Amino acid sequence: MSTSTNPLDLGAPIGARSSSNPAYNNNEDLNVASQPLDPTHPVLQHTRTAPTTFPINSLAHEQTTSEKPPMKNDESRSGSESPTPTLPVAGAGGLHGQPQPGTKAFEGIQGDQKDHQAGTIGEKGDQDVGLLAREELGFNEKHGHGHGLHRILSRKSHKEEERDGFTKIERTSTGTQVKHHTHTASGTDTVQGVGMVPISRQYSTPPAVSPFGGVAPTGSDAEMGLRALRSREEEDERDQEREEKGPDPWAVKFEPGEKINPKNWGVLYRWGLTGIAGLLVLNSTFASSSPSGIVQDMEEYFGFSQEVAVLTISLFVAGYCIGPILWGPLSESYGRRPIFILSFIVYTGMQVGCALSKNTASILIFRLLGGIFASAPLTNSGAMIADIWDTDHRGQAMSLFALAPFAGPSVGPIVAGAIQVTGTSWRWVYWILTIFAGVCLAVIVVFVPETYAPKILVHKAKRLRKDTQEERWYAPLEKADNRWKSRLYDILAKPFVILALEPMLLAVTMYMSFVYGVVYLLFEAYPFVFVINHGFNNLQNGLCFLGFFTGGVICVILFMTVIEPRFQRHAAKVAPLPPRPEKRLELCVISGWSLVIAMFWFGWTSYSSIHWISPVIAGGLIGIGTLGMFVSLFNYIVDVYLWSAASALAGATIVRSLFGAAFPLFATQMYEKLGTQWASSLLGFLALLLAPIPIVLMIFGPKLRARSKFSPNKTVH
């Protein structure tokens, strides 16, 4: 006579054996090695552990589960029946939204019941996604006993425990397979309970941050549709809340393999979106430098001075300061796509305003507003890349994306120079910008979907509420605090607080800002070298910027083929400890000295008696120095500050944009007073003064991180 065993009676921990406990007499069913009973550890007859890394939500099991949730068009119910709403079948607190073994809700998932949490987009939907989850958990729904689903054995007997240095797969005393982190971000071991699921306080992972401040949630935060964290304190509060309350069965999240999850989209499609993101940034930075080739024509038409003409570039770049303050937080509340569309509509209108301007005030105002709205793709395009790529491929996509901010300024003078040389009206520069912006707007509307995971889950929650007539379904973003008052500190104050209190961040920011200012200063320096000294026209002068762009391409190739693989080997070598952020500065050292050499080379080969190709090659070395510095220091800030990286980069971006706006204002006077040789040498001496910064950080960086209030990476190694 067979006796049924309650799957919720766990008994002794793994390896325990008792003759009085039939549940543990047949160890073959649990594939657990027979071991003597440990007399110091009593058998747990009435203790149950959670099959996930989250504590069990007691409320989820106190409610009655004898009735299924109401469903639309359920022919099995009578018209007079009005069942009481109960917990969702796919949300009783188990792993990946599955109900706990042994409950009636657990038995109720058999049959033809619809999985409302499953996605409706892609190859796997509805019940297929639920099947994938059950297979992942190891449940066999073809058991013939008729008393619920039974735990089946894993066929991979040699993989009962799998280790990759950071995660571990093991079983609880019920045989439930779980996967957990073995180490925290600082390299310390996670706390584990005896005979229970290992406890880890680090559920959230640091958000992904784009070079201009766009933020995207990662890891469990992205899967559960939670907004990206901006500090370690928020992470601790979120983890504490998870431990106290447990999983909410009505919170909508992504199911395994669900195609509405941006990271599950096709690889080619995601690379296409990456290319579109780069195109949008190219549009923005192309517009920033375009007036440099038509300065003389605008001076003749408006009658303003050289200094006022330069403001058409400086004010546009000054508009970039608004990006991390305005567009980033807005996209985190309303999604990427609406912000893209809104900003490009207004940005396109600003280009029309520039093309039709009749006086000095109008052209300057339209350029400033154009820069403010053009900063949206700078902020959100990088965040979109973070939305669609996981950590294994995000570095490659982001390194290619980083080339776009430097490609645009190189293309602008070429187009403007061609218009000026052919005698075409200067207004056509802005009409071309209008056409380009309009094409990008059409591309966004047609090809760019919503990529922000929390916003996608809002749409899924609305569909669930409509399909099931159950109003308790919700997406976490719907309950997020969207009041600006609660976020003003993170958006406005914290970036400058970190900048003021962190010496290493201040040093890195000043270095990045100087390099960024040099990029926009070149638009005033190149005409002195190539137009005045070598007699080039504006088109030929613009073509000389191809040397700068080529240097940027070489730097990206160097980063992807040498620098990044070298960093990954270091990360694998020190695992499970986190890699040293100072390893990111190797490229910065190379780029810093390249910039020093390039500025002296550019200045002292600018004589008309020296072939023009020499300063062009020097410009290529400037491209290597600036882009290498940008990529290296960006990754360094992210690795040092982790959860606070968004705020750190926001402050750095604002200061960097101010330098980019200010440098062109004094470039003309500097080159007129000092000459091309000594003006470029002055920049070379400043670069020489700043070049030791990455070397100093490589030596003293660990000690500075240990003293930092905002860096969670305290390990000194």
Same domain, 524 and 601: yes
Query: What are the Cα distances from residue 501, in Å, to 496, 659, 711?
Result: 9, 21, 12
* The pair of three-digit structure tokens given for residue 59, joined into one six-digit string: 């409320």
Tell how many helices (H) and how many strands (E) occur in the chain.
Answer: 25, 6
Count how many domains the chain has: 2
126: left (phi over 0), alpha (psi -120 to 50) or beta: left
* The pair of three-digit structure tokens given for residue 517, joined into one six-digit string: 């200012």
Same domain, 475 and 515: no
**Model pLDDT for residues 1-24, shown as the tens digit of each residue:** 444 455 444 444 444 444 444 443
Buried b or exposed e, range 312-331, using 16+ CB within 10 angstroms: bbbbbbbbbbbbbbbbbbbb
Do 314 and 666 form a contact (C-beta atoms < 8 A)? Answer: no
Please choose, from the candidates 40, 220, 255, 218, the residue with its C-alpha nearest in 3D space to the C-alpha of residue 137: 255
Do 531 and 293 form a contact (C-beta atoms < 8 A)? Answer: no
Torsion on CA atoms 653, 402, 660, 531, rounded to nearest 10: 180
Angle at 215 between CA 209 and CA 216, to 5 degrees: 100
CATH number at 561 reads 1.20.1250.20
* Three-class DSSP category at 6: coil
* Three-class DSSP category at 109: coil
* The pair of three-digit structure tokens given for residue 531, joined into one six-digit string: 């137009």
Do 465 and 471 form a contact (C-beta atoms < 8 A)? Answer: yes
Buried b or exposed e, range 380-409, using 16+ CB within 10 angstroms: bbbbbbbbbbeeebbbbbbbbbbbbbbbbb
Q: Examine residue 167 and state whether it is found in any structural domain, yes or no.
A: no
* The pair of three-digit structure tokens given for residue 193, joined into one six-digit string: 């309970």
Per the structure, the complete domain to which residue 703 belongs is given by 491-716
Please choose, from the candidates 644, 275, 299, the residue with its C-alpha nearest in 3D space to the C-alpha of residue 489: 644
What phi and psi, each to the nearest 5 degrees, are found at residue 202? -100, 85
Angle at 379 between CA 375 and CA 380, to 5 degrees: 115
The continuous run of DSSP H or E covering 681 comes out as helix 645-690
The amino acid at 427: R
> What's the distance, Cα to Cα, between the start and end of the chain in Å?
63
* Three-class DSSP category at 424: coil
4: left (phi over 0), alpha (psi -120 to 50) or beta: beta
Distance between CA atoms of residues 622 and 592, nearest Å? 10
Q: Examine residue 655 and state whether it is found in any structural domain, yes or no.
A: yes
**What pLDDT, on a 0 to 100 scale, did the predictor assign at position 683?**
95
Q: Examine residue 626 and state whether it is found in any structural domain, yes or no.
A: yes
Domain end, chosen from 453, 480, 507, is at: 480
- pTM above the 0.75 mark? no
Strand residues in 558-671 grouped as ranges (E): none
Same domain, 302 and 388: yes
Peptide bond preceding 692 in cis form (omega within 30 of 0):
no
Task: Name residue, tokens 């009505």.
Answer: 250
Task: Name residue, tokens 């892609």.
Answer: 122
Give the single-character DSSP code of 163: B
What phi and psi, each to the nearest 5 degrees, are found at residue 196? -130, 175
The continuous run of DSSP H or E covering 170 comes out as strand 167-171
**What pLDDT, on a 0 to 100 scale, did the predictor assign at position 325?**
83
What phi and psi, each to the nearest 5 degrees, are found at residue 474? -155, 155
3-state helix/strand/coil string of 303-332:
CCCHHHHHHHHHHHHHHHHHHHHHHHHHHH
Same domain, 476 and 499: no
What phi and psi, each to the nearest 5 degrees, are found at residue 274? -65, -40
Q: Examine residue 568 and state whether it is found in any structural domain, yes or no.
A: yes
Same domain, 446 and 533: no
Same domain, 598 and 476: no
Same domain, 657 and 532: yes
Same domain, 317 and 429: yes
Buried b or exposed e, range 439-463, using 16+ CB within 10 angstroms: ebbebbeeebbbbbbbbbbbebbee
Beta pairing partners, 181: 167
The amino acid at 439: V
Distance between CA atoms of residues 384 and 373, nearest Å? 17
Distance between CA atoms of residues 410 and 598, nearest Å? 17
Do 168 and 161 form a contact (C-beta atoms < 8 A)? Answer: yes
Please choose, from the candidates 708, 717, 716, 715, the residue with its C-alpha nearest in 3D space to the C-alpha of residue 231: 708
Please choose, from the candidates 367, 352, 379, the residue with its C-alpha nearest in 3D space to the C-alpha of residue 319: 367
Q: Examine residue 619 and state whether it is found in any structural domain, yes or no.
A: yes
Successive 10-residue mean pLDDT values, the chain, 717 residues: 48 44 41 42 40 40 43 42 42 38 43 47 43 51 42 39 52 43 54 39 77 85 85 81 82 88 92 94 92 90 89 93 85 92 96 94 94 92 91 79 86 91 92 96 96 94 92 89 68 86 93 94 93 92 93 92 90 87 93 95 94 95 93 92 89 92 92 93 96 94 89 61
Distance between CA atoms of residues 495 and 646, nearest Å? 8
What phi and psi, each to the nearest 5 degrees, are found at residue 151? -70, 130
* Three-class DSSP category at 215: strand
Distance between CA atoms of residues 106 and 117, nearest Å? 15
DSSP per-residue codes, 593-612 = HHHHHHHHHHHHT-STTS-T
Task: Report helix angle 404-421 to 427-447, nearest 10.
Answer: 140
Same domain, 499 and 469: no
**Model pLDDT for residues 74-133, shown as the tens digit of each residue:** 444 444 444 444 444 333 333 333 444 444 444 444 444 444 554 444 334 444 544 554
Q: Examine residue 3 and state whether it is found in any structural domain, yes or no.
A: no
Q: Examine residue 153 and state whether it is found in any structural domain, yes or no.
A: no
Distance between CA atoms of residues 43 and 467, nearest Å? 46
Same domain, 468 and 495: no
The amino acid at 185: A
Same domain, 512 and 461: no
The amino acid at 693: I
Do 636 and 588 form a contact (C-beta atoms < 8 A)? Answer: yes
Q: Examine residue 144 and state whether it is found in any structural domain, yes or no.
A: no
Distance of CA 242 to the CA centre of its chain: 23
Same domain, 317 and 443: yes
**What pLDDT, on a 0 to 100 scale, did the predictor assign at position 633?**
93
- How many CB atoms are closer than 10 A to CB 191? 10
* The pair of three-digit structure tokens given for residue 44, joined into one six-digit string: 């747990």
Distance between CA atoms of residues 601 and 580, nearest Å? 34
Peptide bond preceding 576 in cis form (omega within 30 of 0):
yes
Distance between CA atoms of residues 478 and 199, nearest Å? 29
